[in-house]
Chains A and B, each alone.
Chain A
Amino acid sequence: MHEAELIRMAQSGDHDALVELLRSIETSVYRSAYYILGNEQDALDASQEVLIRIYRKLDTYQEKAKFSTWVQRIVSNVCMDKFRAKKETVSIDEHELIIPDRNNVEEEILLTGLSNDIQEAIGRLPKQYRMVVVLRYLEDLSYQEIAEALDLPLNTVKSYLFRARQQLQELLYDYQKGGIG
């Protein structure tokens, strides 16, 4: 069934259509959340939250924007909430874990492959850059759609994306140098 038709049916109260619509977006919601938050558990929590919000707020969706853009906007909002919540509950013990000693760093470089390198590099980006990269490469959204999803000016989106790629390039180059040495 076509997405637009599913949305209309779900908005008119068809429960099955609503469930089917949620199933159709489930993987993309989880994928974005996973790459933005960087771990499975947080991604699952965030995905649940996103799907519940869509279930409850679908009647507020208007066809002015693409449905995927609207969904990704909710994903980014939920992920930002998660970041804030994490920041508030950071303990001293967690800080101690963040500071790696030299042996751990070397071990990490030896064990991780190239795909892990890029994932780790994404995790090191600032949150806004990470979101722009995820929406651009994983959700295949255009500059304009990213701007709508994140409620940012178009030029800011471009700037974030360019800087994110530049930083990723530098991080990956450092990893390769460390791996060789």
Chain B
Amino acid sequence: MTNEEIFELMQRDLDRDLVESEQQLLHRLIQKDVDLQLMYNRLKDVSQQLEHLPPVVPPFSIVDSILPKLESAAAKPAAVTSTMNEEILPTLEVKRESSSLPESKKWKRMKVWMASLGSTAVAASLLVGMLFSGGDGKKQEVDSFQNGTDMTPAVVKQPKTPGPDDPTPPSNNPIPSNSKEETDKAKKSSGATTQTKSKRPPAKTEKKQTSPPKKTKTPPPPQKKPVPPTPVITDDKPPVWPIGLEENPDREDKEPANDDKDDGGDKQEEKNKGKNKEKKKDKDDND
């Protein structure tokens, strides 16, 4: 018999769980081995101490102390208990907030999307409108200039120093495309006359001047000879070119400094605006 088996017999004997034969076997084994006898006596001592643990009693009647509470709880209407339950709810507030956060973000993103969509729709409709009514607008504009109804101030800024044209002021998105240069050339011939006359106010007339390039080429201004573009020094500081873009001397020659007031400049502005919008869109998408 192993020690573990003997140990189990001892434990069961303490709980009076042994049959008579098992008890006799255990006693025989204990009598033979002194260590086993010592162990058995110690366990029996522990068991006796546990059996004689001091009886503890509550210092006061617990039932009496809780009875008023129990009776009042039993008498409370259901509404009161429901409000008691609601008092626990504030712990859920954090969760509620966290769950509502993405909703607000989504709503913000939706707003941005709607705004960008709306602006693109407006831009598209403007473009379409200009395509259909651009020619007429241009005609009207030319007429208004010829009739002297232009409201722009008569002061013309003359270049301070003769020589090569100043480079165009840096824009956010300069596009040295061929089509643009062609249109610029076409405009130079027509726009040079107006430039010598006066500086136009930028906002209203700009939109009218945006017309398809084919039409602008056809009516060359007959009364005046094409004058070389008059460079306007807008700033004393030398223009700063955007990083990564090289200066294009050809473009400088062909485009006057104040060509941003020209049709080409308008177009470029529009293109720039369009590109900026696209960039914004991309940014939004990335967000």
Contact = CB atoms under 8 A, between A and B. Distances in A.
A109 interface: no
B46 A161 contact: no
Contacts of B11: 158, 161-162, 165
A35 B46 CA distance: 16
Nearest to A34: B56
B43 A169 contact: yes
Contacts of B54: 115
Contacts of B46: 118, 165, 168-169, 172
Interface in A116-151: 118-119, 133, 136-138, 143
Given A51-B66, A169-B43, A162 B8 contact: yes
Interface in B1-44: 7-8, 11, 14-15, 17, 39, 42-43
Contacts of B63: 19, 22-23, 26, 51
A48 interface: yes
Given A26-B62, A51-B66, A161-B11, A114 B57 contact: no
B58 interface: yes
B49 interface: yes
Interface residues of B, number: 31
A162 B7 contact: yes
B47 interface: yes
Contacts of A23: 61, 63
B59 interface: yes
B67 interface: yes
B55 interface: yes
A138 B50 CA distance: 8
B56 A52 contact: no
Interface string A147-181: 00000000000100110011011001100000000
A173 B42 contact: yes
Nearest to B8: A162
B93 interface: no
B56 A30 contact: yes
A48 B70 CA distance: 11
A47 interface: yes
B9 to A, nearest CB: 11
Nearest to A119: B53
B65 interface: yes
A165 B44 CA distance: 9
A70 interface: no
Contacts of B47: 137, 165
B8 A47 contact: no
Given A19-B67, A26-B61, A137-B51, A169 B56 contact: no
Interface size class of A (residues with CB under 8 A): 35 or more
A151 B214 CA distance: 94
A47 B47 CA distance: 26
Nearest to B69: A52
A26 B70 contact: no
Nearest to A27: B57
B49 A115 contact: yes
A35 B43 CA distance: 20
A35 B56 CA distance: 9
Interface of A: 19, 22-23, 26-27, 29-31, 34-35, 40, 43-44, 47-48, 51-52, 55, 114-115, 118-119, 133, 136-138, 143, 158, 161-162, 165-166, 168-169, 172-173
Interface of B: 7-8, 11, 14-15, 17, 39, 42-43, 45-47, 49-59, 61-63, 65-67, 69-70
**What are the 6 tightest A-B residue pairs by CB atom distance, in nearest-first order?**
A137-B50, A162-B11, A30-B58, A118-B49, A169-B42, A22-B63
Given A118-B50, A137-B51, 9 more contacts: A19-B63, A30-B58, A30-B62, A55-B70, A161-B11, A162-B8, A165-B50, A172-B42, A173-B42
28 contacts: A26-B58, A26-B63, A27-B57, A27-B58, A30-B57, A31-B57, A34-B56, A35-B53, A44-B58, A47-B62, A48-B62, A51-B63, A52-B70, A55-B70, A114-B49, A118-B49, A119-B53, A136-B15, A137-B47, A137-B53, A143-B15, A158-B11, A161-B11, A162-B8, A169-B43, A169-B45, A172-B42, A173-B42
